[in-house]
Amino acid sequence: MRRILNAILAISVFLIVLPGCGSTAHEGVVLGDERLESYLPRLEGKRVAILSNQSGIVGDVVDGKPSRREVTAESIDEPFLPFGSLSLGPHILDVLLEKGVDVKAVFSPEHGFRGLADPGELVGDDRDAKTGVPVISLYKGGTMSIPDEVLDSFDILVVDIQDVGLRFYTYYITLQDIMAICAVSGKEVLVLDRPNPNGFLVEGDILEEQYYSSIGSIPVPTLHGMTLGELALMMNGEGWLKDGLKCKLEVIPCLGYTHKTLYSLILPPSPNLKTMRSIYLYSTTCLFAGTVVSEGRGTGFPFEVYGHPDMTGQPFSFTPESIPGATKPRFMGQTCHGRDLRDIPLDTLLARGIDFRYVIDSYRNLGLGDSYFSFDSLGDHFELLTGTRRVREAIENADEDESPEALSARIKAGWADEVAAFKDLRRKYLLYEE
């Protein structure tokens, strides 16, 4: 019976529809990488490459047992474990090597294999200190390329990496690019799925093609509500890989997960997401990266606060400093005045979703007009994040008498039809109950 079940679970990505993945038969969530009996047979006799980073802890094991917590009002502000914590279980690289899998290379995304590099920092190739396996950085700037000798060294790519479900979170773009390379070179791709901690929300404007960039590359809302495995199915199925290519793709789903599960991570998925609160606020406070306002990088609570040296009448202040993961934060050494969002109750935070009130508040407070929004090497950064020009125009053209609450609600109402259409499209790629 087990062999029959495993065969069913292994069906090609276009046929994988697994009712019951949201079943309560399992105590908590079982990650795709825990299900070794489902994917090790696919790796027998094959040369393997891995796409992963520090988050690829098999089963999210802490202190010898899988961490299967849901987020609570008490745990939302608990700091994630530090990188390299001795209480963590083995990494997918270690597990595959221990099982005798022939691992030829590891590919790393933004922030590097150990997840310590600053946002946007270019990362070079290396060798894993523990295992000696070559680590090939896929975040070097410019178009992704893999040396021929590395590409020729493997048959199948295994993906195990924790995403957070945001269109401007770059891990899926790295996966999209390497899937296209695998399509051209005839390599298989096997995604060991993980929960989306923001999987309960589908919100935001669909990314318009004119704003495609290195922080957004597919026409989905800001919060797409899909796991990385589901998103891989969609990118493959909708022809969103380069030149409409399609690769040979399989996904090993989680068990015990639904899109309503408030799954708690154990490690920072990237250096400046340090708590579950920051992950829930990220869709809102990351928008400050497209403005002159600090989102708290260079503090112990990035994405949980915002401020600017010239904001007035604010109840809170902070001073960014150079720290690992934010070595050159905006307004380093300067006192920023703004808001502390760490007192928002969990239920309220989840219900609000993307909240433009904070951008509206700081825009009006600073009185800079169009200069409030930043332009950098990528272009109009705020538009690259929101995916459209209409949010900025709504903020700039609103009557001052319209409250931030009302204006935010009006902006959000503007994406209702396109989000409904996206939900219909994504349904055929979902592996889990909504």
CATH number at residue 301: 3.90.1150
Residue 25, pLDDT score: 33
Indicate if the pLDDT at residue 268 is higher than 80: yes
What is the rounded average pLDDT of the residues 399-403? 96
Residue 227 belongs to some domain of the structure: yes
What is the rounded average pLDDT of the residues 416-427? 98
Residue 404 belongs to some domain of the structure: no
Domain-terminating residue out of 241, 268, 295: 268
Residue 411 belongs to some domain of the structure: no
Residue 408 belongs to some domain of the structure: no
330-372 residue pLDDT tens: 999 999 999 999 999 999 999 999 999 999 999 999 999 999 9
229-252 residue pLDDT tens: 999 999 999 999 999 999 999 999
Indicate if the pLDDT at residue 10 is higher than 70: no
Indicate if the pLDDT at residue 19 is higher than 60: no
Q: Where are the beta strands (DSSP E) in 284-387?
A: 305-308, 316-318, 336-340, 375-376, 379-380
Q: Are residues 126 and 260 in the same domain?
A: yes
Mean of the per-residue pLDDT values of the chain: 90
| 278: CB partners within 8 A, 6+ apart | 272, 301, 302, 303, 304
- Work out the percent of the chain whose per-residue pLDDT is above 70: 90
Which structural domain range is residue 17 located in? 2-268
Q: Are residues 206 and 312 in the same domain?
A: no
144-191 residue pLDDT tens: 778 899 999 999 999 999 999 999 999 999 999 999 999 999 999 999
Domain-terminating residue out of 227, 251, 268: 268
Residue 203, pLDDT score: 98
User: How many domains does the chain fold into?
Assistant: 2
Q: Are residues 231 and 298 in the same domain?
A: no
What is the rounded average pLDDT of the residues 304-308? 98
Q: Are residues 327 and 193 in the same domain?
A: no
Three-class SS string for 103-139? EEEEEECCCCCCCCCCCCCCCCCEECCCCCCEEEECC
pTM: 0.90
What is the rounded average pLDDT of the residues 4-26? 34
Nearest alpha-carbon partner for 434 in 226, 197, 166: 226
Residue 8, pLDDT score: 37
Residue 178 belongs to some domain of the structure: yes
Residue 423 belongs to some domain of the structure: no
Q: Using an 8 Å Cβ cutoff, are 130 and 22 in contact? A: no
Residue 285 belongs to some domain of the structure: yes
Looking up tokens 């497209």 gives 290
Q: Are residues 185 and 295 in the same domain?
A: no
Q: Are residues 284 and 230 in the same domain?
A: no
Q: Are residues 147 and 26 in the same domain?
A: yes
Residue 428 belongs to some domain of the structure: no
Q: What is the b/e burial string over 116-148, where b = at least 16 CB atoms within 10 angstroms of the residue's CB? A: bbbeebebeeeebeeeebbbbbbbeeeebebee
Q: Are residues 306 and 201 in the same domain?
A: no
Residue 12, pLDDT score: 37
Domain-terminating residue out of 380, 397, 414: 397
Q: Are residues 147 and 50 in the same domain?
A: yes
CATH number at residue 94: 3.40.50.12170
Q: Are residues 247 and 302 in the same domain?
A: no
Q: Are residues 263 and 282 in the same domain?
A: no
Q: Are residues 120 and 56 in the same domain?
A: yes
